[in-house]
Structure 1
Amino acid sequence: MHATPDAHDAHLDTRDSAPTSPAPRLPAAVLWDMDGTIVDSEPYWMAAERELVQSAGGTWTDEQATQLVGNPLEVSAQIILDRTPVTGTPAQVVDMLQSRVEEAMRSRMPWRPGARELLTELGRLGVPCALVTMSYASLAEVLRDALPDGTFATIVTGDIVEHGKPHPEPYLTAAERLGVDPGECVALEDSPTGAGSAVAAGVPTIGIPHIVEIPELVGLTLVPTLDGVRAADLLEIVRR
């Protein structure tokens, strides 16, 4: 005669046989722009540009400043030299601007909504992150120092690449350093030049427009904010 399981055993059997939800798919890596994406530093750059131009006796409008968003720094510096009374070399202009922005960021780190939270979650889940920025290494280090050790597995900056954004080299360099296929990653960008760079590198890209609009591109999905975006959402977003 077979024993009849009691209610407690039946409860355990039901619990043990309940299906479990599959783990969400995650990107092989997440490749982050910095200015305007992780931190709202574009106003710092604009203020530094205005201060520099005014000190030389010129004027610098918000419209002119907006046209520089996302550019390689020496490209922006040359535009300033061409259009204002500022003198010197592009490298000297970059040094003056970046030192001012570094000072401002050390005083107050202007986090963009949701960025730090998403970086923290990706780190907890073991998803490698790269910083891919046209700012130079000294400014990237200010951001790195404000985050937990190991937040970025690699950092690609504008002073170590031959071709800056919108060329694909910065994102291809990041993927190569991480040993991952660009097509298995997700890039996060806030500017047309940055989004163009990531898409040209074959990286599925999420655009978060901030100071400037980002035109539609094949391989690019636009969202209004990273606030509330979780690691498990990233691949779903780029598949839309």
Structure 2
Amino acid sequence: MNSSQSLPKAVLMDMDGTLVDTEPYWVAAEYAIAERFGATWSEEQAMELVGNALIESARLVKEGMGLPHEPEEIVEMLLDGVVEQVEQEVPWRPGARELLTDLVEHGVPCALVTMSYARFVGPILKELPEGTFKVIVTGDMVANGKPHPEPYLTAAAALGVAAEDTIAVEDSNTGARSAEAAGCTVLVIENHVPVAPGERRVFRDTLEGMTYADLAAL
């Protein structure tokens, strides 16, 4: 953040793997597609998709499984699988809702910046107080998904702040690259995949017990 700005003007949050541990839902949906069409899939291939734009993940699924379907069709199949699961249970990451509550109480504007599509985000937002996120950027709203900086630049602009004056919270290399390229300070909470060090990246083990004051200290 700018040296003259000691506190974040906004916090921009990734969703999958950061706020909610939905990566296993996506992996299950991928394996279900493989089984449905008699294809093979591996955990290694699944982990390569973490943090990607959905359409890019769909292209990798198409290639990896040898499917005849267009990537757009595969996106819808993936979404069908994960939406069904998240409507049954939202798997919140430790400390995620508590941190959001503390940020709202301190008047810090928050944005959700996810490569998931709107119809997957809906059931998760229903479990949060209305207005928790002042801005929501989903993968179907941007021309360029993560690791391109567009998602984070879009969120910052919608909040009326410079990305350099925000903190982004991420769990993947792809997401961290996106936020870093936008100019954000990136708080990395690793989950399913390791994240490489970076100039604007700060690493912590968990969101549990983290407060607005902790983010301000970054």
Structure 1 length normalisation: TM-score? Answer: 0.87
- Letter of the 1:233 counterpart: D
Q: Secondary structure at the match of 2:141?
A: coil
Retained in 2: the 8 A contact 1:131–1:152? yes
Which of residues 42, 47, 53 is equivalent to 1:61?
A: 42
Pairing of 1:20-169 with structure 2 (within 5 A): 26-169=7-150
Whether the 8 Å CA contact 1:52–1:86 is kept in 2: the answer is no
Q: Choose which of 170, 176, 184 in structure 1 pairs with 2:151.
A: 170
Alignment of 1:187-226 (within 5 A): 187-226=168-207
- Segment of structure 1 superposing worse, 212-221 or 227-236: 227-236
> Which protein has greater RCO, CA pairs closer than 8 Å, 6+ apart?
2
Residue 131 of structure 1 aligns with an amino acid whose one-letter code is L
Identity %: 51
Alignment gaps of 5+ in structure 1: 1-24
What 5-or-longer segments of structure 2 have no aligned partner? 1-5
- The alpha-carbon deviation at position 183 of structure 1 amounts to 1.2
- TM-score, normalised via structure 2 length: 0.95
- Between Structure 1 and Structure 2, whose CA radius of gyration is higher? 1
Distance in 1 (CA, whole Å) between partners of 2:20 and 2:102 is 17
Q: What residue number does 2:3 align with?
A: none
| In 2: Cα distance, 1:235 partner to 1:194 partner | 21
SS in 2 for 1:59: coil
Q: CA RMSD in A?
A: 1.0
Alpha-carbon deviations, 1:193-227, whole Å to 9, x = none? 00000000000110011000000011001111111
**Ranges of 4+ aligned residues in structure 1 off by more than 4 Å:** none
Mapped contact 2:12–2:155 kept (Cα < 8 A): yes
Cα distance in 1 for partners of 2:77, 2:7 equals 40
Q: Report the secondary structure of 1:207's partner residue.
A: strand
Q: Secondary structure at the match of 2:31?
A: helix
Counterparts of 2:36 and 2:57, CA distance in 1: 18
In the aligned structure 1, how far is the partner of 2:78 from the partner of 2:19? 19
